[in-house]
Amino acid sequence: MDATTEIPDSADRYVVLHVRALMADRNIRSVAALQRLLIAAGVDISNQQLNRIVDNRATLLNLNVINGLLKVLHCSVHELFGELVVPRKPDNP
């Protein structure tokens, strides 16, 4: 979605992470492999927490983890994050 796209007020907006797609593009075949890369980069993260991030189920994200992901995935913030716009269903009278 680009900056000129108008979002209707009747839509919900969600931040999404593109970690799994970036992993595939970089031939990182498992969450465990990504975890090893992050630990080597100085980011201490549990397998469970990383699975929530990769599967877009995380509700909080530490800046150290974000910076680590940017580093090991060799990507920009714009590649790592996206936006999902979901139109709301109209209320029935």
Does any domain span residue 80?
A: yes
pLDDT of 10-21, one tens digit each? 788 899 999 999
pLDDT in tens, 34-59: 999 999 999 999 999 999 999 999 99
C-alpha dihedral, 63 to 66 to 70 to 76, nearest 10° = -90
What does the pLDDT average to over 68-75?
Answer: 98
Domain-located, residue 93: no
The 10s digit of each residue's pLDDT in 84-93 is 988 887 765 5
Domain that holds residue 50: 11-87
Cβ(41)–Cβ(72) below 8 Å? yes
Judged against a pLDDT cut of 70, whether residue 5 lies above it is answered with no
Segments of the chain assigned E as strands: 11-17, 81-87
3 within domain boundaries = no
pTM summary value: 0.82
CATH code at position 46: 1.10.260
Residue type, 55: D
Q: What is the mean pLDDT of the chain?
A: 90
Say how many domains are in the chain.
Answer: 1
The reply to whether 5 falls in a domain is: no
